[in-house]
Amino acid sequence: MEPLRELSRPAWLRYGVAVAASVAALVATNAFWSVFHAVPFMLGFVAVFATAWFGGGGPGFLTTVLVAAGILFVLPVTRTAWPPGADDVLRLLLFVGAGAFASALQRQLGASRRTLVGLLAESRQSRRQAESAMIDLARFAALVESSDDAIIGKSLDGTVTAWNAAAERLLGYKAEEMIGKPISTIMGAEQKKDMVEILRRIGRGERVEHFETVRIRKDGQPVYVSLSVSPVKDPSGRVVGAAKIARDISERRHLEAERERLLAETRKAVEIRDAFLSVAGHEFRTPLAALSLTFHNWSVRARAEKDERTLERMGKAQQQVIRLTRLTEDLLDIGRISAGELALQKTATDLAAVVREVAGRLDESAARTGARLEIESSGPVVGDWDRSRLDQVVTNLLTNAVKFGAGHPILIRIHRDNGAAELTVSDRGIGIRPEDRDRIFERFERAVSSRSYSGIGLGLWIARQLVTAHGGTIEVESEPGQGATFRVRLPAEAG
């Protein structure tokens, strides 16, 4: 509140001015006695009014007293006779009364002015508050209007009360078309049931968030929306309506559908690939069998005729047929494993014997790289396994060790460990980078460039599938440049 001007002055100044004005009035009255002798209080009145105006009721009253005292006790020394006459006393009393009245009037006036000033300040503040509220409201309205989400207000009986620009864009109806209309205008039969439930929850004061549903546009097209609905309450807290924010999720739904479609397409492509590999594999088998038989027959003839040169060539040709046959079988295994048709024919099998047999087969190709296969086993390690599948696992691991072992010795250890058979194949070759260690067990994955190393990236995947089918595990430890150790653990009865 703005203080009164006269009261805002310091008291010493207000009362100092009262004293000075009193003295000045007395001095001037005395100096111009010839003028004022008939009205000796005239200048006193002026002083009282002036000080009351300048300093308020208190100083006015002080001036009254000082002037009265001055005229009564000081001026008589120079100007008037003492004791004063009855007229003089009357005039004095009149002066004091008038001065006191003027001062009281000024005091009262001050109080009124203070009230007035207070009211004025209050009114200014409420105007500022009103302005600020208007600005907030305008800002909020702009926010609602510029929102990308449709914002819709409705009463509890489902009548539309607000409809922003985004609602116009999303649903195709103008605000003037929708305000006052039932919200069910934009709903299909199914959604009307939902609305009853939503309004029931809103009526209880609950919020409904991210409810995905469909609304019908003015042009009849459905539009997918995510709704958040909040209750609108009056100042007493009673729910009087609902504010609904609808976000267009058609694009998201579209992307989801697109993703589903791509996923289905990818799955289909994988199925087709596997089916193709299976058909191709079967088609390769007959010519390979015919080729193998033909080479066999030629070898038989060469042996009978003691034609060593042909015999050796036929042997090499047979090796290539065996390689082709193995690749074909790998391709066929993809289909079998993917279709869950991997049937294991389990018999009592000695893992150490299988390893020796495979190593014997690979000795020659290992020797060509300069590598030596060293087997370390404490004796037979027998389990209930599919012998030919186990042979395949060991073949794949040893083939890899020879291929990536850089010509260093390869150590193969077989031993029994707590009811499990453990086979480790360690090479001292190029090793595997940490980021590739999981990947190499996946289909068609290779950790090395196909320009440097041949192979289609199936060996370890098949090995893992076969080991897993036996209830076992396969893992690898490796540092790049330090070689790799593959560890296979298979369940085996203790003994």
**Residues near another protein, by CB under 8 A:** 282-283, 285-287, 289-291, 293-294, 296-297, 300-301
- Residues 460, 441: Cα–Cα separation, whole Å: 5
Q: Which residues contact 377 (CB under 8 A, 6 or more apart)?
A: 352, 355, 413, 414, 415
CB of 491 to another protein, least distance (A): 27
Residues 392/359, Cβ–Cβ less than 8 Å: no
Residues 446/433, Cβ–Cβ less than 8 Å: no
Nearer to another protein, 324 or 353 (CB): 324
- Residues 54, 60: Cα–Cα separation, whole Å: 9
- Residues 285, 291: Cα–Cα separation, whole Å: 10
CB of 300 to another protein, least distance (A): 5
Nearer to another protein, 284 or 441 (CB): 284
Q: Which residues contact 83 (CB under 8 A, 6 or more apart)?
A: none
- Residues 237, 233: Cα–Cα separation, whole Å: 5
Nearer to another protein, 301 or 323 (CB): 301
Nearer to another protein, 328 or 426 (CB): 328
Sign of CA dihedral 54, 55, 57, 62: negative
CB of 347 to another protein, least distance (A): 19
Main-chain dihedrals φ then ψ at residue 454, nearest 5 degrees: -80, 175
Tokens 């000024």 found at = 106
CB of 319 to another protein, least distance (A): 18
Nearer to another protein, 264 or 300 (CB): 300
Q: Tell me the β-bridge partners of 361.
A: none
3-class SS of residue 143 = helix
CB of 304 to another protein, least distance (A): 9
CB of 342 to another protein, least distance (A): 12
CB of 285 to another protein, least distance (A): 4
- The dihedral region occupied by 224, where left means phi > 0, alpha psi between -120 and 50, and beta the remainder, is beta
Nearer to another protein, 200 or 296 (CB): 296
CB of 305 to another protein, least distance (A): 12
Nearer to another protein, 336 or 433 (CB): 336
The DSSP secondary structure of 277-296, one letter per residue, reads HHHHHHHHHHHHHHHHHHHH
CB of 357 to another protein, least distance (A): 24
Main-chain dihedrals φ then ψ at residue 101, nearest 5 degrees: -65, -45
Find, among 259, 188, 196, 258, the residue nearest to 224 by Cα: 188
CB of 334 to another protein, least distance (A): 15
Q: What share of the chain is helix, strand, coil (3-state, %, to 5)?
A: 60, 20, 25
Nearer to another protein, 72 or 332 (CB): 332
Residues 151/144, Cβ–Cβ less than 8 Å: yes
CB of 282 to another protein, least distance (A): 5
CB of 291 to another protein, least distance (A): 8
Nearer to another protein, 269 or 293 (CB): 293
Nearer to another protein, 109 or 288 (CB): 288
Nearer to another protein, 30 or 278 (CB): 278
Find, among 329, 299, 325, 327, the residue nearest to 314 by Cα: 299
Find, among 379, 392, 373, 385, the residue nearest to 353 by Cα: 379
Nearer to another protein, 226 or 318 (CB): 318
Distances (CA, A) of 225 to 116, 210, 211, 212, 251: 58, 9, 8, 6, 10
